[in-house]
Amino acid sequence: MASESASRAFMSDAKELVDAGQFSKAIEVLQEGLKKFPKTVSARVLLGEIYRTSGDLDLARAELEQVIKAAPDNFAACRKLALVYRDLGDKPAAIKACETILKANPKDREMG
């Protein structure tokens, strides 16, 4: 139970830093938290999102691809990865990511 609350605490701290626009500090908090709780998928999704927002598309892609390998049904990560692929100019990969989401949820308004 204690480790679960510690896991939530580092995520909460990271989200507060993101909300304050302190992306580099949020990245540090997430990286440290992931050393202790490497299976925290939501932290990896947030880290990928922060990398994308701060313009580091290669790191965003690597982080989100790692999430998809571990949790292929994580559609939030798949959506974010589709945007990263688009931003990188990898249209075939972006289309494939969108198709994966639509196959699982044909009524997805963001991808449809």
Question: Helix, strand, coil: what percent of the chain each, to 5?
Answer: 80, 0, 20
Whether residue 79 lies inside any domain: the answer is yes
* Cβ burial, residue 30 (10 Å; 0-12/13-18/19+): buried
CB count, 10 Å around CB of 67?
Answer: 22
pLDDT of residue 1: 45
**Structural domain count of the chain:** 1
Q: What pLDDT is recorded for position 98?
A: 87
Quick check: 13 and 29 in contact, CB under 8 A? yes
Place of tokens 């990898």: 90
Per-residue pLDDT of the chain (112 residues; tens, 9 = 90+): 456 676 789 999 999 999 999 999 999 999 999 999 998 999 999 999 999 999 999 999 999 999 999 998 898 999 999 999 999 999 999 999 888 878 877 665 655 4
Instruction: Establish if 109 belongs to a structural domain.
Output: no
Domain span holding position 30: 2-104
pTM of the predicted structure, to 2 decimals: 0.85
Whether 110 is covered by a domain: the verdict is no
